[in-house]
């Protein structure tokens, strides 16, 4: 009996101490922005959220957008980017409104979120009930799972352009082990320095692609035949839908802010910055290489190997590691809540508890090593619901009653002041994404995906690698002599 009592006594003061520490830390954060720890580690300002959104929105997609342009043609490529970019900003705004609504209602009931990270499925649960929670959880987790898988495949695909002594599958094993270290990063508060670096890296890579393509000039006999086939057209469109659907982690990023109300337009500002990276780079690479891109889903594979390209590859690798953490962290939270470890203070204990999340991701990356087609499939089947349809429907249902609209924590925005206009816009998004994104996009990307599996097979050792050169040279030589 005695040891138990001692243990109990030990727990109580510790708990209040940790609470005090947390409060103290918050105060320090607010007052001393120059404190090194808070400078590098504790991010919760509007700027941090902007960096998180912007660096999380484009990572590997920068390298697949020229491939999408080759499927869509230049004009459609540019128009789809602007269209989906604005649509994505709007649904991110809706998610932020619903989060504020949920949090306001809960705080009226004196619920504290001291050691708890609010997630999207909990917002849906609180506002619309358990069925919505289940749908939100299923789509979000599957999307983030495949998002993480894509980052791993992309790591292997990129490093191969610098060092092809190992095949891509071996590189996937190595990067899986590296990315597993993200289990030690507690929450989105702690991504400040990473988001900042991540955005710098994508900015460098985007401008490298643009300048390198312009300097390289058009390849001999370049053709720009897109759009040629419906399957390719809708696959390309869905990849762009996926590009601007990076906000499955919006709620977690908002929750890490000191004043989440400020989030409203942050996503739009992040998207506008992202346009300055994606539009020039995709257009320039497509202009230079044209239809060659149809067989090269990674833009690096066509550009000449030099120091600038290697630097871009290495920066993208580091960025993928960061994006892997971004996509995995919400999964870690869900898993911690399932096994009852979410309140645990010890970083090491939590890291151990999170490991089972990384293993299936690693395994899937080895089974399906083609990220271009996966991007489109994930875009059509998961992003369409997670990021566009569910938020728009949830907003319509949350505010369907006049009383809910009167007591709304957030009124409609200045540029769209009436509830009716908001309803009309949300209804349009739901129908458009269902028909074009999920319907046509799902059909096209699954057709493309199955074709890749048939061509390369599962567990492909080295997907889209160049065949070894010596045999082709000898074959050519024999043909020439024979001809003479």
Is pLDDT at 330 greater than 60 in this prediction? yes
As a whole number of Å, the end-to-end CA separation of the chain is 98
The percentage of residues in the chain with a pLDDT greater than 90, rounded to a whole number, is 26
Rounded Cα distance between 168 and 373, Å, is 17
Q: Which fold has domain 43-456?
A: Amino acid/polyamine transporter I (1.20.1740)
- Residue-wise pLDDT for 210-224, tens only, equals 999 999 999 888 888
Residue 167 pLDDT: 78
Which residue in the block uniquely carries the two structure tokens 């990023």? 253
Rounded Cα distance between 310 and 205, Å, is 10
Residue 475 pLDDT: 43
Better-predicted residue by pLDDT, 352 or 288: 288
Spell out where 8-153 has E strands. Answer: none
DSSP letter assigned to residue 260: G
Span 317-334, average pLDDT = 84
Q: Would you kindly state where each structural domain of the chain is located, as residue ranges? A: 43-456
Is pLDDT at 112 greater than 50 in this prediction? yes
pLDDT band at 464 (very low <50, low <70, confident <90, very high): low
- Are the beta carbons of 149 and 365 closer than 8 angstroms? yes
**Best mean pLDDT range from 114-118, 203-207, 327-331:** 203-207
Rounded Cα distance between 434 and 238, Å, is 12
Residue 31 pLDDT: 47
pLDDT band at 170 (very low <50, low <70, confident <90, very high): confident
Spell out where 21-167 has E strands. Answer: none
pLDDT band at 430 (very low <50, low <70, confident <90, very high): very high
Quickly count: other Cβ atoms within 10 Å of residue 23's Cβ: 11
Is pLDDT at 37 greater than 80 in this prediction? no
Residue 3 pLDDT: 45
Is pLDDT at 474 greater than 60 in this prediction? no
- Burial level of 200, CB count in 10 A (0-12/13-18/19+)? middle
Span 397-413, average pLDDT = 90
Taking each helix axis from N to C end, the angle separating 74-108 and 390-398, rounded to the nearest 10 degrees, works out to 40
Residue 428 pLDDT: 96
Residue 262 pLDDT: 84
Span 376-386, average pLDDT = 81
Residue 133 pLDDT: 92
Is pLDDT at 448 greater than 90 in this prediction? no
pLDDT band at 420 (very low <50, low <70, confident <90, very high): very high
Rounded Cα distance between 357 and 239, Å, is 26
Is pLDDT at 426 greater than 70 in this prediction? yes
Residue 205 pLDDT: 92
Span 244-265, average pLDDT = 82
Rounded Cα distance between 266 and 270, Å, is 6
- Residue-wise pLDDT for 346-376, tens only, equals 878 888 888 888 888 888 888 877 666 776 7
Mean pLDDT of the chain: 81
- Concatenated DSSP letters of 164-205: -SS-HHHHHHHHHHHHGGGGG--SGGGGHHHHHHHHHHHHHH
Is pLDDT at 33 greater than 90 in this prediction? no
């Amino acid at each position: 009996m005695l040891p138990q009592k001692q243990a109990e006594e030990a727990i109580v003061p510790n708990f209040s101490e940790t609470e005090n520490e947390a409060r103290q830390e918050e105060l320090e954060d607010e007052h001393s922005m120059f404190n090194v720890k808070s400078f590098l580690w504790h991010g919760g300002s509007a700027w941090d959220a902007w960096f998180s959104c912007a660096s999380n929105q484009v990572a590997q997609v920068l390298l697949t957008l020229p491939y999408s342009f080759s499927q869509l043609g230049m004009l459609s490529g540019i128009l789809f980017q602007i269209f989906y970019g604005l649509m994505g900003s709007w649904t991110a705004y809706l998610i932020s409104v619903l989060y504020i609504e949920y949090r306001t209602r809960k705080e009226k009931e004196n619920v504290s979120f001291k050691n708890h990270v609010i997630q999207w499925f909990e917002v849906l649960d609180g506002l619309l009930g358990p069925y919505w929670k289940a749908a939100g959880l299923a789509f979000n987790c599957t999307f983030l799972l495949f998002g993480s898988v894509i980052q791993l495949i992309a790591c292997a695909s990129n490093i191969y352009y610098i060092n092809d002594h190992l095949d891509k599958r071996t590189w996937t094993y190595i990067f899986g082990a590296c990315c597993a270290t993200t289990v030690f990063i507690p929450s989105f508060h702690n991504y400040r320095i990473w988001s900042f670096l991540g955005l710098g890296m994508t900015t460098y890579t985007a401008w490298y692609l643009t300048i390198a393509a312009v300097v390289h000039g058009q390849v001999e006999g370049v053709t720009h035949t897109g759009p040629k086939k419906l399957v390719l057209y809708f696959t390309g469109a869905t990849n762009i839908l996926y590009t601007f659907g990076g906000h499955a982690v919006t709620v977690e990023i908002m929750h890490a802010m000191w004043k989440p109300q400020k989030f409203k337009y942050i996503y739009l500002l992040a998207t506008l910055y992202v346009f300055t990276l994606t539009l020039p780079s995709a257009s320039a690479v497509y202009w230079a290489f044209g239809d060659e891109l149809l067989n090269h889903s990674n833009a690096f594979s066509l550009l000449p190997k030099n120091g600038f390209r290697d630097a871009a590859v290495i920066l993208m690798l580091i960025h993928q590691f960061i994006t892997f953490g971004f996509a995995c962290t919400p999964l870690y939270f869900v898993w911690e809540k399932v096994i009852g470890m979410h309140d645990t203070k010890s970083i090491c204990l939590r890291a151990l508890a999170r490991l089972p999340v990384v293993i299936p991701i690693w395994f899937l990356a080895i089974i399906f090593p083609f990220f271009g087609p996966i991007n489109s499939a994930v875009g059509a089947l998961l992003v369409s619901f997670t990021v566009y349809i569910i938020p728009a429907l949830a907003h319509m249902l949350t505010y369907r009653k006049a009383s809910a609209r009167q007591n709304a924590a957030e009124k409609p925005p200045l540029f769209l002041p009436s509830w009716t206009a908001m309803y009309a816009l949300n209804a349009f998004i739901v129908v458009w994404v269902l028909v074009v994104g999920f319907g046509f996009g799902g059909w096209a990307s699954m057709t493309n995906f199955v074709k890749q599996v048939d061509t390369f097979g599962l567990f492909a050792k080295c997907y889209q690698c160049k065949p070894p050169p010596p045999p082709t040279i000898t074959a050519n030589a024999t043909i020439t002599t024979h001809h003479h």
